Structure formats: structure tokens, C-alpha cells
């Protein structure tokens, strides 16, 4: 029987095999847990996000958190998804996807992980990412008329 790491890598390799090698995405790399807190770093384009998290759901992973990272020099915003699975010990992985900072749009994963609902709303409040397909993307913490996103690096209080 293969390990959860091997199962995850095999399933993702199968999913990603059909995609063009003309771009550097998607990719999966092993990480040193003692340094970064996860075993696999998965980077995908937004169009592969739903398929990727569906594979994780099928393998028994649960969603821990979602956050954003503002990359103003690259004119991009990144959405970061932390997943975990407990067997004999914890097996944490991270998925990252980037989108344009001007029109930050990423598909919602609530159709796969309903628990992503509040995480996506919070990330939208703080970073301005529009999670398309979200069932109720209204502000979670900010006032409904807020026209700012306080965790963007160019935000002025």
C-alpha cells in the first residue's frame, strides 16, 4: 500500500498530465515540513483549482484555512489554501494560485468544500479577491459599503 504522499502525488500527476507543458504551471514539489510546515507545495492556475481540490477531497483531506498574499511588484494576488489529513500523523499540503491584481478573480471551492464559505468571504474582505460561484459572497468582517481591502500592501489607513 502506498503512502498518502505517494497517493496524492500520483493522483495529481494524473490530473496534471493532460495540461500543456508550455507553461510552468501546474506543479507539485516536495517541501521540508520542519522548515515550512507542509509536505507538498502545489501551484496551479485558477482554471485547475476546482479539479485539484476535488482530488484532495477524494483522498480525504480537509480544508484548514484560506488566505491571500499581495504581490504588488508582480501585479498579482495569490490565494493560499492549507489542507490536512490525519492518518497516523498529520499530512499538511498547500495549494497556491495567482490572479491579476487589477481584476482578482478565482473560482470558489465551496462546491467541493462547503467550509470554504467563511474563509473565502474573509479573504475577499481583506484582499479583494472575487470568488466566482460563491453562494453568498457578502462581507464577513467589513461594512457592506467598504471600498477598501486592508491587507493589500498599498492600503493607507
Which string of DSSP letters, residue by residue, matches 113-155?
Answer: -TTHHHHHHHHHHHH--EEET-TT---SSS-TT----TTSTT-
CA-closest candidate to residue 31, choices 43, 49, 15: 43
Residue 88 has pLDDT above 80, yes or no: no
What is this structure's pTM?
0.93
Give the residue ranges of DSSP H helices in 17-152. Answer: 33-36, 49-58, 116-127
CA 74 centroid distance within chain: 18
Indicate the fold that domain 4-132 takes in CATH.
Beta Polymerase; domain 2 (3.30.460)
Determine the pLDDT at residue 18: 76
pLDDT in tens, 48-68: 999 999 999 999 999 999 999
pLDDT in tens, 95-142: 999 999 999 999 999 999 999 999 999 999 999 999 999 999 999 999
pLDDT band at 21; cut points 50, 70, 90: low
Amino acid at each position: 500500500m502506498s503512502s498518502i504522499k505517494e497517493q496524492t502525488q500520483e493522483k495529481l500527476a494524473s490530473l496534471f498530465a493532460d495540461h500543456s507543458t508550455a507553461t510552468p504551471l501546474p506543479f507539485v514539489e516536495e517541501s521540508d515540513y520542519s522548515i515550512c510546515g507542509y509536505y507538498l507545495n502545489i501551484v496551479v492556475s485558477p482554471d485547475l483549482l476546482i479539479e485539484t481540490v476535488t482530488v484532495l477531497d477524494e483522498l480525504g483531506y480537509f480544508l484548514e484555512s484560506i488566505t491571500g498574499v499581495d504581490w504588488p511588484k508582480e501585479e498579482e494576488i495569490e490565494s493560499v489554501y492549507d489542507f490536512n489529513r490525519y492518518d497516523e500523523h498529520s499530512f499538511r499540503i498547500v495549494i497556491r494560485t495567482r490572479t491579476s491584481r487589477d481584476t482578482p478573480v478565482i473560482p470558489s471551492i465551496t462546491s467541493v468544500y462547503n467550509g470554504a464559505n467563511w474563509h473565502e468571504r474573509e479573504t475577499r474582505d481583506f484582499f479583494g479577491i472575487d470568488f466566482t460561484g460563491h453562494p453568498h459572497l457578502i462581507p464577513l468582517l467589513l461594512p457592506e459599503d467598504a471600498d477598501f481591502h486592508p491587507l493589500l500592501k498599498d492600503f493607507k489607513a
